Chains A and B, each alone.
Chain A
Amino acid sequence: MAATLNIVRVSASPPAAGIRSEPTIAKLVDTSTCIGCKACEVACQEWNDLPPETTVQMGTYQTMPDMTSNVWNLIRFSEHDTDDGFHWLMRKDQCMHCAEPGCLIACPAPGAIVQYANGIVDFHQDACIGCGYCMTGCPFNVPKFAEKTRRVYKCTMCVDRVAVGLQPACVKACPTSCLQFGTKDAMLQAANRRVEQLKENGFPQAAVYDPPGVGGTSVVTVLAFGDRPELYGLPASPVVPRAVLFWKGALKGIGNLAIAGGVLAAAVHFIRYGRKQKAP
């Protein structure tokens, strides 16, 4: 299933659509069945051969405050204590693999960010120049800059495993099936089934988080408090920053025309009026 590396989009390059169509894949994160065991965090470090990062005691069950260039998968923990009861909210923070990836749109380096036909958005550090524009383009604050290599890193959705028909390492390690992997359609179906169950069991506001502002994501999240994604540290309605879209769109066109117009005007002036006769 979707076991190819068929590229559809490359940063700073024309569209690269392949001729094969393949289904979009997705990872399902059911926050309501996450027990916070961190097996996914460990599996991610293991499979991707990431060096250990010192954990930070935050007074909660969270490993550290934020993802780093060596930690691409972080279970965020927050306590929710209101009229509707006391809840431990755990959410898997990682790259969302947007259908409209702000990182890729912002990237100036050809080939540094690619989007595969199966929906995976991947960074190629060999082409990365370390400018950090992807960090500005991302509405989820995912890409992390490594001082040591001066390049940017994030979750690859285990593209190397997916390409050979395996599920991502975190999904493989999850003991509660809170994480599942399959086609986006299948994952959305499973997510919606789960939302129905939650609604019947005292969570009428349960919802699937698949934000349309970024074209949907290849990480589909079930939220028991789906009306308030901020409780989980998720933006309510993420979009690619308008400044980035304007910069890469209209401003680039206007700017290029203005530069060409300036050069052209100088040439026309020279042909019409030419050189001044003597110094003023």
Chain B
Amino acid sequence: MTPYRFSERIMHAVAAVSFVYLLLTGLAFWTPALYWIATVLGGGFLTRAVHPWVGVVLAVAVTWMFVTWSGVMRITDEDRAWRRSMGHYIRNEDDRMPAVGRFNYGQKMLFWVMAGSTLALLVSGLVLWLPHYVPRSLAPLREIAILAHALAALLTIGAFIVHVYMGVAVVPGGLKAILHGGTTTDHAGARR
């Protein structure tokens, strides 16, 4: 398991906490069946006011991640080989997987999906944040923003489900690594 530097763990924590808030409050606005989440988190009015600002926090965190990781996240030939044998990875036949660098193809895909979606969410979110500043002549922009925001959010939710499930339930030491830095078994002493 890859050890994570202190700055990386902080960066991930900011992204994780802001993402979870945005996910929960976004779902409250997405469907009336989950509107109670907004009520629990301070009411719909407050939630509507805070959601965009937390979105800015997430955008900052993801930008920070992008600056830190975009180099190491580049998809290589090794990754393509990994992708071809991904079935083994899914079936936990890890001895049949090619060697990987710091991040495997799945982690890299998560990175790129989250980076792209966050950009789409930020741009469409700005339109949804201040709809009264979008002139009537640009009304289709608001309609596009509504759909883009929902689609990008759904994409991140899918990535989030896989990511949390893998990190918490499947990969040993995954949760510990992102919270505390490394695992005692593989990279003892690698904590910085």
Contact = CB atoms under 8 A, between A and B. Distances in A.
Chain A contact-residue range equals 35 or more
A24 interface: no
Interface in A85-139: 108-110, 127-133, 135-136
Contacts, number: 124
Nearest to B104: A280
Interface residues of B, number: 46
B94 A131 contact: no
B41 interface: no
Interface in B155-170: 157-158, 161-162, 165, 169-170
Given A135-B132, A270-B169, A259 B143 contact: no
Given A135-B131, A247-B147, A275-B172, 20 more contacts: A108-B29, A108-B30, A109-B35, A129-B45, A130-B45, A136-B142, A243-B144, A255-B150, A256-B31, A258-B157, A258-B158, A259-B154, A259-B158, A266-B161, A273-B170, A275-B169, A276-B94, A278-B172, A279-B183, A280-B100
Minimum-distance CB pairs A-B, first 10: A243-B143, A132-B131, A12-B32, A129-B44, A145-B132, A266-B165, A129-B48, A262-B161, A279-B1, A136-B142
Interface of A: 12-13, 108-110, 127-133, 135-136, 141, 144-145, 147, 150, 241-244, 246-247, 251-252, 255-256, 258-259, 262-263, 266, 269-270, 273-280
26 contacts: A12-B32, A108-B32, A108-B35, A110-B35, A131-B29, A133-B131, A135-B132, A135-B142, A136-B142, A136-B143, A145-B131, A147-B132, A241-B143, A243-B146, A255-B150, A255-B154, A256-B31, A258-B157, A262-B158, A266-B161, A269-B170, A275-B169, A276-B170, A276-B171, A277-B92, A279-B186
